[in-house]
Amino acid sequence: MTILVFGGNGQLGRELLRALSSLGTVVATTRSGTLTDGSTCEVADFNQPDSLVALLGRVRPDIVVNAAAYTAVDKAEQDAEAAFRANAEAPGVIARWCARAGVPFVHYSTDYVFDGEGTAPYREDQPTAPLGVYGTSKRDGEDRVRAAGGRHLIFRTAWVYAAHGNNFLRTMLRMGTERPALRVVADQIGTPTPAALIADVTAQALQHAGGLSGTWHLTASGQTSWHGFAEAIFAEALARGVLPKVPSVEAIASSEYPTSAKRPSWSVLDNSKLQQDFDILLPDWQEGLKRVIGELTP
């Protein structure tokens, strides 16, 4: 079985290359044609969505997994066309090819499709209302994948991080070595979710005998704020010897840290449907953090 993975150099893509290797031959793509280890791979340019058809026809995969996306949330406000090409048009092109070929298509979306005004974890069937270009482009991508009519697995996730790549955890660890004190937003609530967990659950879902198609929320369990996440990162890093000392972390309001794009204040997703449909137990976010920090232990 051949599994084509778009976005092989991203933090999720790198974990997918690992997690899916037990299912068959994994063919990775990146925009540059080179993986982080220096090896070559297929070229896929999401800025030119129609060019992806030739690649799909040549590889003829049995499963397609799309971990590529335009994720520069603030930049998207001034670069909407590029965001929609990568997050909506390209997934639509891939989904239509997969539908014609009878190939399952896995696609990842985001908590940013919601407006963040909720007070209970969002279910998959609740109305979407993105606050900015990034969330709107991701919602459009979801719609195009569904409209293609093939078997699809759309996984909405949130607050993704890993021991590699660009993410909140690595930023905190870097800044923690540079500054004695940090100010972190405390009025945005969500669930930190390791990329490895998303990749492992994807592999399990693809092996499920039910042949299910639809949309699921895929995050770790529980919830915290960015401030709470930062404090947990530093506590675990100090305990594991990743950092010799840690900074103080002041809780601030989102209004004290203005950004071009508005963030949802409530990003907690209800993942019970995924756990029930695929018979998967999703661990608490703190357990996931311990595992990721463990990868960094000297």
CA distance 74 to 133: 9
Active site residue 134: yes
Token pair recorded at residue 247: 């900074």
| Cβ-contact 247, 179 below 8 angstroms | yes
* Residue of 108, 112, 134, 161 with catalytic role: 134
Contacts of 68 (CB under 8 A, 6+ apart): 6, 7, 10, 13, 29, 44, 46, 86, 90
Give the chain's radius of gyration (CA, Å). Answer: 19
Catalytic residues: 134
